[in-house]
Structures are given as C-alpha cells and as structure tokens.
Structure 1
C-alpha cells in the first residue's frame, strides 16, 4: 500500500502554511503521516515549492508540490514508483483522521472496489443560491461531504494522473473516467482545517485540579462565603474572605494553564489582600488564563462540609461561577460522614476540576 499526503498548499485562507502549524506540540503534517504509517508500506509527502525537502527514507519520501492540488498529487505519485496494488491520497489538512478510517478505506479496496471515498452526511438543509436568491432546495439525504483518505487501485490512479485534469479531488476525475466510486462512512475527526479558527476544535483540553480547605472561626468572625455568596456566621478563617470554593476553582484554572497556584499570584503575605473578594481574584485568574490564549471550557467542583446544608443553594453557586468564568459550571456538595475534622464540622473543603482549551 502506497500513500500520498498532499501538504503543498500555501494556506491562503489560513494565513500561512497550516501543514506546519502545531497542535499540542505536533504539526498537522506529522499527525497525518503518523496516521498513515499503520497501513502504508511507503508514504510520499508533497511539500510546498521553496521548502527544503527532508531526507527521504525507505518508508517516507518527499516531492515538490505544484501550483494545484492535482499537480502535487501527480508529482507525489511519480515519486512513489510502482509495485503497489493500491494507493491512498490524504490531505495533511485532515490531520486526525483515525486509523480506523484508513483501515475502512483499505478494506473496501481489498474487497475489489476501484475507487473509495469516505463521506459524512449533511445535518443542514442545503440550498442552491444565486445573487442572494434561492434557486433550489436539495435533498440532503442524497448529499454527502467528502473526506480523505481516498483510495484507488494503482492503475486507476495512474490513469487519473495521466489525464492532467484539474479537480478538487482525484475521485472526481475517476468518476469522469467512468470508474465506480464507492462511499464508506467518514467521521467528524477527519474534518478539514481551512481557517485558523478550525484549530480550536483539534486541541486537546488541558485539565487542572484545585483543592482548598479552611477552618471555621468564632461566631463573630464574619460570614461563611462561597462563590461570593454569604451564608451567615460563623465564617472561615483566611487571609482573604476565605472563599474556599472560589480558591479551589482558581487553583484548578491556573493549574490547567500551567501558570501556578492562587497563592503564587496572590500571596497571603500581601497586606493589600487582607479580606479580599475571592471572586474578584478568580476573575483576574480567568483574565490571566485567557491572556495565554486559552478559554475555560468547564468547571466541576465539590464542596465538602457538614454545615450549612448547601443543596438548595448549589444552583446559585454554579451560576455565580459561570458568570465569573463564562464557562459551564457544576457545583456539588458532600458530607464527610463524621470522619476527621471535616466530619466533625471544623471547616469546609473544596475539590475542583477545570478544563481549558
């Protein structure tokens, strides 16, 4: 099995060579190559003109791309050589197509199919529009969105390349030549990166864990504060307002972004922070995380306390955190069931998990 990976585009709509963009430390091109390795005896990558070609090996070779996709595929195909029964053509702009999808296309070729494309159906209503007016509504049950890798019998792709026709994919030319094109199920993971904003859905979430605990003070030491909400005395002892829910969430968010902990940004040795509003500090933590290019995706927090009973207030606590962080938040409450100082009602603790992208 030979595989051609098309990575020669200029990325005009993306704003640069997207194939060299990194997602979680891996370039889109390297991710695409890695997916193809398991089913390929030889891979040829078509790279942009002007890029220095890496040294080729027995399994991976490189070709100079052309001004068009069809020309780049032709260059890569010539570099592949013969001796292959089947050839896959894959876009580097679809870096996370699964190994299962590759195997699905290969299995169809092994069954005797001459040209194979993965495709997914449309969930939207599709209309033909001209000059701002609808001309026709299409039957979406018969419409699919085509993906890669696409598979071809070697001689079929050889004929496709020999035509020197231009098309958005090689399956279109094979169809024009009269070959039946078989459709196998595609997948969302094989969606294409076209715009820079498309990278967001590819990035794996980062996760942070937060924990905070404070003891109760005396009756005259103020109110218990959780997520900025006051629950009456006795309050918790701390340098700020001792809002252990806000503190744990802040630690989780900062940890996910690799920034550190709440105490690193707002040390309890700073007299200016005495009695500080922890929700205001949490908002500043969110701003710090966003300044690094991340967005908070979700928060899950559990408050461990014997008193007060928080059940009726959990929705309000979650809403307060959602408003502060602009992210879906769930707050739960648990009892320590009489175990240790928490079980004896000596204080309140909170665990929180934050995911960011």
Structure 2
C-alpha cells in the first residue's frame, strides 16, 4: 500500500502568540519533529506552510506548498499536489509533533483492513460538563466520549470527497462522517497531545545539564584587576586573552555544553586578536543568544569559585545578580578555598566549576 501524509502547518498560532510550528524544543522545530515521526509510514509527505512563507526546496518524498486561509483550505491545497499513486492519505497536525510512529502505524493498519476513515482517540479521565453563562447545565456520561487526535487516515477516494465538499470543520473526519462514511477509532496516546498555548511547551521540555570549568593564574606582575562576572576586585588580575573572567567563562562553557554547542573557545577562540581584553560578560550574552537560537532557555546556574584570595563571601550575592541579569535566570554563586592544596591552595590562581540546566 502507498501512503501519503499531509502535514497541516499553515496556522498563525494566534493563541500561541506566533507560528508555533517553527518553535524549537531540544533544538528541533515542532514541524520537523512531526515530519520525522511521519516518515516511518509515508511514501510521500506534503507540508502546507503559511502564505507568504519562503518554501524550502521540495523533493519527490517531501513536498512543501502553501496552505489556505482555513484548515480545510490547507488540507485541500496539500491534497492537490499529492502523488497520483498514493492510495491512503493521513492528515496530521504539526502542532502534535510527538505522535509516535506506532500511532501512525495503527492508523495505517486500520486503513489496510478496509476502513474508510480512521481517527486515533483517547478516553476522558475527567468528568465532562456542559456550561452556559458560567453555570453547569448538564453532566455528560464520559464513558461514551473520547478526545480525537491526529494523524487521521482516509482512503484516497474518501478524502477527495471531503475536500470537494468544501466544508469547514475542526477535522476532516467530521466531514467524512457528515458524508455518510463510517469513522473507525484506534487507540490514541498522550504523546499526541496538541500544543496550543505557549505554556504547553513546558511538558515537553527535557532538562539538559552542562558542566563548565575554567582556571586562570594570577598575573605574576600583579597587573590589572581580578574580574569575576564583570565585577572588579582590584589587583592582581588573572592572565587571560580576554579579561580573564573565569566565572563568566565557566558559565558560558556550561550553558553551551548543555545545549550541545561546545565550549566558549569554539565561539570565541583565544587566537582571535579582536578578542584581546574583551568583556567576558558581553561574550556570555552572545552565548545566551546561541543557545536561544537552538530553542533552549536557561533553567538554573550553580557556580563554585575556588580561590584563596580575595575573600569573596560578601560579594557572592552581587556576582549572582550580575550573571542573572545577563542570563535572565536564577544564579547561585558559592566560594570555596583549596585548603592549601596545590597551585590553587597556594593562591596562584582562581578556578570555577559551574553546572547549568537548560530546557
């Protein structure tokens, strides 16, 4: 059997506050996740994108086209460019990016058994009530009510009639039902939950952890100021290509590592003469932009400075606030002594360890 999947990704995301289909989780857009999940059963995928959007280059297996002003219009536009050899058609929402390949396979298996239209659904565990004017008017029997999801599957002839009907509906199965076709239910899954509001993203964000470390020796000539998180503590300063801010550097390493980008040296190599004496807090802000571009945001920062001198206890709150202002995230800064052990214990330099959590 030949299966084509139409992915509806042309909505404006009014309730979300923007085009949610291009929002990233774990560095991957919701749309790309939906495409990846559909590949296991699809001989061809057609994606309907917003009008005016620059269409990516298409291939025979993955075609991009423009959607319409409504969901029904978007499905119709995508259906028109579907290959003639496609026997069965799935319609899937880009806003359901984590529907599993197993769910796609269940829908396709039902079509292969001869079902005209197939929808995945899950039972409601909540009591359902009809409300009017802020008052409960009726309590429904939830045993006969299900929540319908996508992908929804259709014999090609059935979806052709749905498109030709030019009726507006929240899903194509509703139109098929109105046309007299039986609609078969297969087991849905919570993974196929729809992302509607920006807050819906939180349930899908998986924390990632990065470890940062940096160490610099004190300038033996005593020149310059010790700089930590952009704050100056007087001489002697630390030797470094930039301003030697080992706290900011370790934080940068931690957040870049958590996002899978690399380290601060990958973005700002110490061989670049333009970075001589650079303000590391400015560089840290650019590292934040880099992880944001991959769809990550900082959840928390935990930093430990190891130094014999100066005494940093009274300044730790200020250091955390300085970092928190740049990163727009909670930052905890602690200080420890090396208790006379090694070069750090001898007061020859400063080191910092940082653990960063990003979502």
Q: TM-score, normalised by structure 1?
A: 0.60
Q: Is the 8 A contact 1:208 1:254 kept in 2?
A: yes
Aligned pairs for 1:190-205 (under 5 A) are 190-195=193-198, 197-205=199-207
The residue that corresponds to 2:123 in the other structure is: 121
Q: Is the 8 A contact 2:7 2:93 kept in 1?
A: yes
Q: Is the 8 A contact 2:5 2:42 kept in 1?
A: no
Instruction: Label 1:290 to 1:120 Cα distance change in 2 as closer, same or farther (>3 A).
Output: farther
Q: Is the 8 A contact 2:49 2:65 kept in 1?
A: yes
Deviation sequence 1:258-294 (CA, Å, 0-9, x none): 8x9xxxxxxxxxxxxxxxxxxxxxxxxxxx9999999
Asked whether 1:141 is paired with 2:142, we answer yes
Deviation sequence 1:83-121 (CA, Å, 0-9, x none): 222110011122222222211211222233221112233
Aligned pairs for 1:1-357 (under 5 A) are 1-14=2-15, 18=19, 21-24=22-25, 25-131=27-133, 133-139=134-140, 141-142=142-143, 143-176=145-178, 177-195=180-198, 197-209=199-211, 355-357=357-359
SS at match of 1:200: helix
Q: Is the 8 A contact 1:115 1:179 kept in 2?
A: yes
SS at match of 1:80: coil
Offset, 1:122: 2.8
Instruction: Label 1:108 to 1:70 Cα distance change in 2 as closer, same or farther (>3 A).
Output: same
Offset, 1:250: 12
Offset, 1:172: 0.8
The residue that corresponds to 2:223 in the other structure is: none
CA distance in 2, matches of 1:90, 1:67: 17
CA distance in 2, matches of 1:188, 1:97: 5
Deviation sequence 1:43-99 (CA, Å, 0-9, x none): 111122223434432112233221111111112112114322211001112222222
Offset, 1:130: 0.9
| RMSD value, Cα | 6.2
Deviation sequence 1:192-213 (CA, Å, 0-9, x none): 3444x3333333422123789x
Unaligned stretches of 5+ in structure 2?
A: 215-249, 268-285, 303-328, 330-352
Offset, 1:169: 0.2
Offset, 1:174: 1.4
Q: Is the 8 A contact 2:149 2:192 kept in 1?
A: no
Unaligned stretches of 5+ in structure 1?
A: 213-247, 261-287, 302-326, 328-350
Q: TM-score, normalised by structure 2?
A: 0.59
Q: Is the 8 A contact 2:8 2:71 kept in 1?
A: no
Q: Is the 8 A contact 1:109 1:152 kept in 2?
A: yes
CA distance in 1, matches of 2:53, 2:256: 39
Q: How many residues align?
A: 338
Deviation sequence 1:165-203 (CA, Å, 0-9, x none): 1110001111222423323222235433444x3333333
Q: Is the 8 A contact 1:252 1:352 kept in 2?
A: yes
SS at match of 1:155: helix
